[in-house]
Amino acid sequence: MPKKIQVTEGMILSASIELIRLNGIESISTRKIAQHLNCSTQPIYSTFKTVKDLETASLLKIKDLLVNNYLNADTSEDKFLQMGLGYIQFAKCEKNLFKALYASGNLIKNDASTSNRLLDTMKQGDKMGTLEDEKLRKIHRKISIFVHGLAFLIIDNDQLYSDEEIRILLIESAQAFTHWETKEDK
């Protein structure tokens, strides 16, 4: 009798992410994943109690991909600028994964340690190292809205702005929001 192939959690998540990448979050089903892995649905249900649990685990893996491959890319850029550029690049290169994270209604919230790492990254940026944490949070909130909107514009038309134009837009928005938050006479 041939040995059964062991289907692991990693294999299931890889298949799930590949299906999301190709067809969007709506494409996730145990049947489709089993077909992709050439197995029954039993190992999937043994690993994940519900499809919602599988979706949540998949979204966490996608978030890890975003953070490790795009936001924390090792470049000579200012680290905070690199986060914005990476976010836009992720939207450009991984449209369905980006939509799964940010347009599916299943957004994975950041925890306190993520927020603290973000503040540390911002403090490494030009002219932000001396700002109070609360001002940095306000600047980040405003820049996030701008970058998120820009990412969705680019998903619809990735030729809308060149990489250099995107870089300039991010720098100018950060400068404007920082200036606004640090004005003496607010």
In a domain, 3, yes or no: no
CA distances from 147 to 8, 31, 99, 138 (A): 36, 36, 14, 14
> pLDDT of 151-161, one tens digit each?
999 998 888 89
pLDDT beyond 50 at 111: yes
Q: Chain-wide mean pLDDT for the chain?
A: 86
105 falls within a domain: yes
- Given a cut of 90, whether residue 127 has pLDDT beyond it is no
Domain of residue 97, CATH code: 1.10.357.10
Is there a domain that residue 39 lies in? yes
Which pLDDT band holds residue 185 (cuts at 50, 70, 90)?
very low
Q: Which domain holds residue 100?
A: 9-182
How many domains does one find in the chain? 1
